[in-house]
Amino acid sequence: MIIPTAKQIKEIDAFTISDEGISSIDLMERAAYSLTDAITSQWSTSTPIVVFAGPGNNGGDALAVARMLICGGYAVKTYLFNIASRISADCKEEAERLKSLGEGHLTEITSTFEPPELSADTLIIDGLFGTGLSRPLEGGFATLVRFINSTGCTVVSIDVPSGLMCEDNSSNNLESIVRASLTLTFQFRKLAFMFDENEMYVGKLKVLDIQLSSSKINSTSTPYEYIEADYIRELFKPRVNSGNKGTFGTAMIVAGQYGMAGAALLAGSACLRSGCGKVMVHTPLLNNNIIQIGLPEAIIHHDYNEKRFCNPISSDTRFDAICIGPGIGTHTDTSRALYDQIRRTRCPLVLDADALNIIARNKEWLDFLPAKTIITPHPLEFQRLTDCKNDGYSRLKVAQELSESHELIVILKGHHTAICLPDGRVYFNSTGNSGMATAGSGDVLSGIIVSLLAQHYQPSVAALIAVFLHGKAGDLASSTLGEYSITASDIVNNISNSFRDLLNM
């Protein structure tokens, strides 16, 4: 599903209204029904409800929900904030409809607001601002948001937590954003929901299908897409029954300085579990026994240095894709070897972990990375690499620029990992959980990617499939072990289930 901008959502909204020949208030009522449905399925009529409605259509939604809840037997107190005496036409109409239920349901605030005493079990419905927020909240609205956040009550935000911009929050006033327990958003995830730091505002997320025009959605052009199983499934090539191990390719993994052999084992075993024909692990001599024992299917390609990657692999060695980085350290000898290895690499390349830390110290190397190289930084590695600002939106913009200017595939790791492609498109992943933020998890991802590259998947496709499968394997691991207890090995152990789940095998 696409992730449109707030402006595009408005256009889709307007098109739906004219295409269906309905009025905007009818669409608002449709949206309010689905909100009410979601609320009543979770909270009973014994829950006291307080609704805060703003001056725009987000407020209109809130007023319609208040009316529907009252009609459903809930005790609801509603406050409409009409400070500038300028409320939208549909918000005004919804206020009239609510008032028509009788006295006392609606309090209109036109100047100062004395916050009510709220019991701990009150459910707050936040309909102050949605996609029409045009600047950070300040003054009375900022105070109101701080009040809402201080109550300790459960908060359901309509469409967007009030105060959160749909895209760029790099200059927002972060103290003036509602911290929702649940956000009920219409039709699309918003770009801001993809950034880890905004999880504390969004809370749990539920997307409500309000049947906006699918033809308009399909013709809306946006670089941002949220990818789910159906999309990924289409990217797979059938596996030929007559294939031999040569057909499925050889992956080379340069990993594990002495003391970090586990990184090589994890990347190597993930690679083996992901379909390539043969896995070679280039690793220092002292890792020999542990890797031979831990990964008997792999072929060891020795580095003649005992402890670290110092000798680039000769161009006579045959392999179809190479991954460099897990646990290799950042020693100057390794740095030199990495330089030579990148310079002589002619096959698809993945750079991860310490390879990225070395490049961060030699940023000019970015200019000679082969086209379509995949890099897999976590936020800190990306910051070291680019000196970008520390918020999700700024980071994404820099990643998109880097991807386009250097023809790289940038996998920005996070809860919703972003895969930035050189043509400007960005895909956000839908799988994964907090348990995967564990040592070695990234090595597993690199192993899956290089395995798919060795099978001759296009780098962009390999990146998309690998990120999805990796997250799914983590989700399957968590379904039996729980998020607290997952290790990277558990992710490897669930790669096969992840394939089977995705491909209905």
Ligand X SMILES: NC(=O)C1=CN([C@@H]2O[C@H](COP(=O)(O)OP(=O)(O)OC[C@H]3O[C@@H](n4cnc5c(N)ncnc54)[C@H](OP(=O)(O)O)[C@@H]3O)[C@@H](O)[C@H]2O)[C@@H](O)CC1
Residues annotated in a binding site for (6S)-NADPHX: 57-61, 130-136, 159, 263, 327, 378, 443
Known binding positions for AMP: 413-417, 442
| C-alpha separations of 3 from 10, 181, 207, 218, 358 in Å | 13, 22, 12, 11, 34
Cβ at position 84, least distance to ligand X in Å? 7
Amino acid sitting at position 322: I
Cβ at position 498, least distance to ligand X in Å? 34
186 binds, among ligand X, K ion, none (CB under 5 to 8 A by kind): ligand X
232 binds, among K ion, ligand X, none (CB under 5 to 8 A by kind): none
Asked if residues 398 and 362 have their Cβ atoms less than 8 Å apart, the reply is no
The torsion region of residue 479 among left (phi > 0), alpha (psi -120 to 50) and beta comes to alpha
188 binds, among ligand X, K ion, none (CB under 5 to 8 A by kind): none
359 binds, among ligand X, K ion, none (CB under 5 to 8 A by kind): none
Cβ at position 125, least distance to K ion in Å? 9
52 binds, among K ion, ligand X, none (CB under 5 to 8 A by kind): none
183 binds K ion (CB under 5 A): no
Applying CB under 6 A, which residues contact ligand X? Answer: 9, 13, 27-28, 31, 54-61, 88, 129-135, 137, 141, 158-160, 186, 210, 212
Pick 32 or 253: Cβ nearer ligand X: 32
Cβ at position 328, least distance to K ion in Å? 47
157 binds, among K ion, ligand X, none (CB under 5 to 8 A by kind): K ion
- Residue 303 three-state SS: strand
Cβ at position 128, least distance to K ion in Å? 5
427 binds, among K ion, ligand X, none (CB under 5 to 8 A by kind): none
Known binding positions for K(+): 58, 126, 162
**Residue of 167, 162, 171, 163 whose CA lies nearest to 188:** 167
158 binds K ion (CB under 5 A): yes
Number of residues that bind K ion (CB under 5 A): 6
Pick 27 or 388: Cβ nearer ligand X: 27
Tokens of 390: 């520390």
Which residue stretch of 32-40, 52-60, 194-202, 312-320 sits at the interface with K ion (rule: CB under 5 A)? 52-60
Pick 86 or 346: Cβ nearer ligand X: 86
176 binds, among ligand X, K ion, none (CB under 5 to 8 A by kind): none
**CA 470 to CA 488: how far, in whole Å?**
10
C-alpha 76, offset from chain centre = 35
Asked if residues 28 and 67 have their Cβ atoms less than 8 Å apart, the reply is no
Tokens of 397: 């913009």
DSSP labels, 149-214? HHS--EEEEESS-TT--SS--TTS-GGGS---SEEEEESS--GGGGSGGGHHHH-EEEEE-----H
Pick 26 or 306: Cβ nearer ligand X: 26
Cβ at position 97, least distance to ligand X in Å? 14
Q: Which backbone phi and psi does 236 adopt, to 5 degrees? A: -75, 145
Pick 130 or 326: Cβ nearer K ion: 130
Asked if residues 367 and 339 have their Cβ atoms less than 8 Å apart, the reply is no
DSSP single-letter state for residue 366: G
Binding residues among 118-147 for K ion as defined by CB under 5 A: 126, 130
Cβ at position 213, least distance to ligand X in Å? 10
Asked if residues 436 and 486 have their Cβ atoms less than 8 Å apart, the reply is yes
| C-alpha separations of 287 from 14, 158, 455 in Å | 63, 55, 27
State which of residues 57, 82, 131, 157 lies at the interface with K ion (CB under 5 A): 157
Amino acid sitting at position 26: D
162 binds K ion (CB under 5 A): yes
Pick 169 or 460: Cβ nearer K ion: 169
DSSP labels, 405-444? HHT-EEEE-STT-EEE-TTS-EEEE----GGG-STTHHHH
Q: Which stretches of the chain bind K ion, using CB under 5 A?
A: 58, 126, 130, 157-158, 162
